[in-house]
């Protein structure tokens, strides 16, 4: 099946959003494969959730119904590497969805499993970009304390070494470092960024604001940094991106999106409203480990479960519950700086897209 060009697809989302035209499947999909996690992060309690995870066979029935529309697939958790069949799930994503970008955020804890599976995952994803984002929230033992995982930082260094070795034979592999900016580390972001670049030598360094998410069971937690502190941190990160632009096209695109995202996230925190239109539930979606389809993981409201619809994603996506979610988002009943959905929103906002494009080719700030 020939894929519709991305720009045409983006135009379709805008029409559907504005006029309720024909619905497309999401271009940006997050597949959460488990809630289980050995980390006990100060900013996340997802590990407390226990569900019956979808099996490889179930994914094998589900993914073809996405009709190869998603261009960007994020495989999240929990700790995805707790699943010994993660390589098989990734292989199905690659062969049945054929996304251009596969993104796996990693806590790096289960070293032996990572060493066992990551080479296979790298091989399965040849032809797409495989972005491996190491989660680094602090340096050394301070990181271990923040993540509630003794020895984690040392293990991250092992994982980074492996990824650097993989890059020598698999040119599609990209190493990223990702920091969650919370009240607990916001003052240290410039130092964390500088030291993490020195230790892990990533292709890109990105950060996201800690927020209250239903998915993460953090709704009552006081973790989101003050807006002024967040702005200081992201101003620094923006300056660093401008000073050290990556030459890798995917990393460069991510950096350009990040520059826009940092500004957008700060404004959303300041103004507590959708600064640009949100296309969650329209252009982006989240598949929970137990088969529930969400418009986004911040609200984590089920549009339906694929298990109840013969594993047909479209049947859930076209349902009345999904339409109600979209109507609520369109009515601006929520606002959040969720990075994953924000990326798609930025691509669908013409002024933002123009700035991202100009930035990619080195024009403007």
Which residues of this protein are in contact with another protein, per CB under 8 A? 111-112, 115, 119-120, 122-123, 126, 158, 162, 165-171
| Closer residue to another protein in complex, CB, 94/213 | 94
CB of 19 to another protein, least distance (A): 45
The upper half-sphere exposure of residue 271, i.e. CA atoms within 13 Å in the direction of its Cβ, equals 13
CB of 202 to another protein, least distance (A): 14
| Closer residue to another protein in complex, CB, 121/192 | 121
| Closer residue to another protein in complex, CB, 119/148 | 119
- Paired with 324 in beta bridges are none
| Closer residue to another protein in complex, CB, 165/270 | 165
- The secondary structure of the chain, three-state, reads CCCCCHHHHHHHHHHHHHHCCCCCCCCEEEEECCCCCCCCCCCCCHHHCCCCCCCHHHHHHHHHHHCCCCCEEEEECCCHHHCCCHHHHHHHHHHHHCCCEEEEEECCCCHHHHHHHHHHHHHHCECEEEEEEEECCCCHHHHHHHHCCCCHHHHHHHHHHHHHHHHHHCCCEEEEEEEEECCCCHHHHHHHHHHHHHHHCCCEEEEEECCCCCCCCCCCCCCCCCHHHHHHHHHHHHHHHHHCCCCCHHHHHHHHHHHHHHHHHHHHHHHCCCCCCCCECCCEEEECCCCEEECCCCCCCEEEEHHHHCCCHHHHHCCHHHHHHHHHHHCCCCCCCCHHHHHHHHHHCHHHHHHHHHHHCCCCC
User: Measured in whole angstroms, how far is the alpha carbon of residue 26 from the centre of its chain?
Assistant: 14
| Closer residue to another protein in complex, CB, 126/228 | 126
* Residue 217 and residue 46 in contact, taking contact as beta carbons nearer than 8 Å: yes
Q: Residue 78: is the preceding peptide bond cis (ω within 30°)?
A: yes
CB of 206 to another protein, least distance (A): 21
User: In Å, what is the CA distance from 268 to each residue of 151, 209, 274, 331, 342?
Assistant: 35, 11, 6, 16, 11
CB of 95 to another protein, least distance (A): 15
Q: In this structure, is the dihedral angle defined by the CA atoms of residues 18, 20, 23 and 28, taken in order, positive or negative?
A: positive
| Closer residue to another protein in complex, CB, 15/158 | 158
CB of 298 to another protein, least distance (A): 36
């Amino acid at each position: 099946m020939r894929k519709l060009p991305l720009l045409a697809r983006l135009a379709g989302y805008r029409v559907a959003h504005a006029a309720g035209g024909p619905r497309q499947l999401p271009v940006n999909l997050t597949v959460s494969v488990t809630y289980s996690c050995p980390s006990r992060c100060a900013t996340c309690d997802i590990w407390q959730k226990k569900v019956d995870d979808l099996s490889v066979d179930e994914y094998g029935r589900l993914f073809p119904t996405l009709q190869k529309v998603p261009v960007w697939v994020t495989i999240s958790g929990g700790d995805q590497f707790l699943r010994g069949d993660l390589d098989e799930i990734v292989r199905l994503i690659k062969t049945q969805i054929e996304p251009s970008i596969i993104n796996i955020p990693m806590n790096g804890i289960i070293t032996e499993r990572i060493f066992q599976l990551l080479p296979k995952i790298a091989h399965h994803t040849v032809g797409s970009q495989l972005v491996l984002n190491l989660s680094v929230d602090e340096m050394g033992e301070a990181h271990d304390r923040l993540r509630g995982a003794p020895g984690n930082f040392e293990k991250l260094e092992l994982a980074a070494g492996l990824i650097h070795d993989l890059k020598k034979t698999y040119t599609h592999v990209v190493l990223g470092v990702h920091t969650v900016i919370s009240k607990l580390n916001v003052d240290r972001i410039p130092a964390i960024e500088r030291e993490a670049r020195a230790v892990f030598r990533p292709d890109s360094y990105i950060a996201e604001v800690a927020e209250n998410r239903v998915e993460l069971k953090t709704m009552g937690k006081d973790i989101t940094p003050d807006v002024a502190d967040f702005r200081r941190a992201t101003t620094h990160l923006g300056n660093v991106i401008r000073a050290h632009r990556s030459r890798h096209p995917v990393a460069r695109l991510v950096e350009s999106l990040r520059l826009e995202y940092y500004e957008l996230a700060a404004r959303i925190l300041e103004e507590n409203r959708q600064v640009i239109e949100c296309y969650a539930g329209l252009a982006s979606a989240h598949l929970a480990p137990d088969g529930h389809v969400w418009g986004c993981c911040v609200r984590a409201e089920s549009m339906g479960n694929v298990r109840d619809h013969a594993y047909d994603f479209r049947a859930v996506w076209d349902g009345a519950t999904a339409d109600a979610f979209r109507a609520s988002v369109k009515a601006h009943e929520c606002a959040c700086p969720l990075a994953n959905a924000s990326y798609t929103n930025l691509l669908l906002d013409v002024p933002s897209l123009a700035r991202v494009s100009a930035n990619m080719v080195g024009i403007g700030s």
